[in-house]
Structure 1
Amino acid sequence: MSISQEELRNCPARITLDAAQLTFLDGLPAAAPSVQTELGCELEQGHDGSHAALGHQEENTTWWIQWTLSASEINPYAWCPSGHSSPAERRDDKNCMLFTGHPGRHLPGRQSHEIEPHESVQ
């Protein structure tokens, strides 16, 4: 049985990043866009464990904001290996766009929460 992209639903949880989190992500050495102040969980609805949203990417390292009702943190991960045979391969829409070891099903292509620039923290 095949799962279509329409059948995959994102978790509705959201987080608003604080100034320290935004400063940390802005300080990472990569020519990638910065994150929005508010992010949505990119895991499938009903997942186990903490919520997660992609914050930044630096080559093959992805920085994920993970949170619960009482705490949040930013953790480095590799991309999920589903859909390709080596981490050095070019990523495309067939690759899982989550982090290695994520809960739930693999989610190909970007979810509805795109990374967009935010205003600089003063």
Structure 2
Amino acid sequence: MFSRAKSGYPLRMFECFENAGVARTWPQCGRQSSITASEHATLNGLPDRLGHVVPVAACELAAGHPGSHVAFVVAAEDGDHWWWLRWDARHRHLIRLDPCERTATDEDVPDDCLLPSGHHGPHSFEL
């Protein structure tokens, strides 16, 4: 399975574009939500966690997406399990989702989508 940490990708998807001069086709949603103390404790307790749990999650889907917001929060099991925060105005859940299996093939170097499987809208390599 593809691993963010093992691939050299940043552990936060939006960091892929920071100072990279990459033109985005669609703007990201970016809606933010603070990680609660309970969520933080749950995530910190995951086995073989990679990196630290961020205090604020930012939605990584394209702006104007339908449904809930979703943000990558941490990888565990040496990068094989990706944990996400999914939230809307009334609900929030920590969930383990596999990454999208789509890869951009129109570039010199293949680029994997770093969003969760089944996500709405464009792939991360299109953002």
Scaled by the length of structure 1, what TM-score is found? 0.73
Question: SS at the partner of 2:125?
Answer: coil
Root-mean-square deviation over aligned CA pairs: 2.2
- Answering whether residue 125 of structure 2 is matched by residue 108 of structure 1, we say yes
- Answering whether residue 33 of structure 2 is matched by residue 15 of structure 1, we say yes
Task: Look up the match of 1:89.
Answer: none
AA matched with 2:94: I
Scaled by the length of structure 2, what TM-score is found? 0.70
Q: Say if 2:57 and 2:71, in contact at 8 Å, map to a contact too.
A: yes
**Percent of pairs identical after alignment?**
26
What stretches of structure 2 of length at least 5 have no aligned partner? 1-21
4+ runs deviating over 3 angstroms: none
- Encode CA deviations 1:58-84: one digit per residue, 9 max, x unaligned: 232211100001121101111110018
- Answering whether residue 66 of structure 2 is matched by residue 48 of structure 1, we say yes
Q: Say if 1:25 and 1:34, in contact at 8 Å, map to a contact too.
A: no
Higher helix share: 2
AA matched with 2:124: L
For residue 100 of structure 2, the aligned residue among 64, 80, 96 is 80
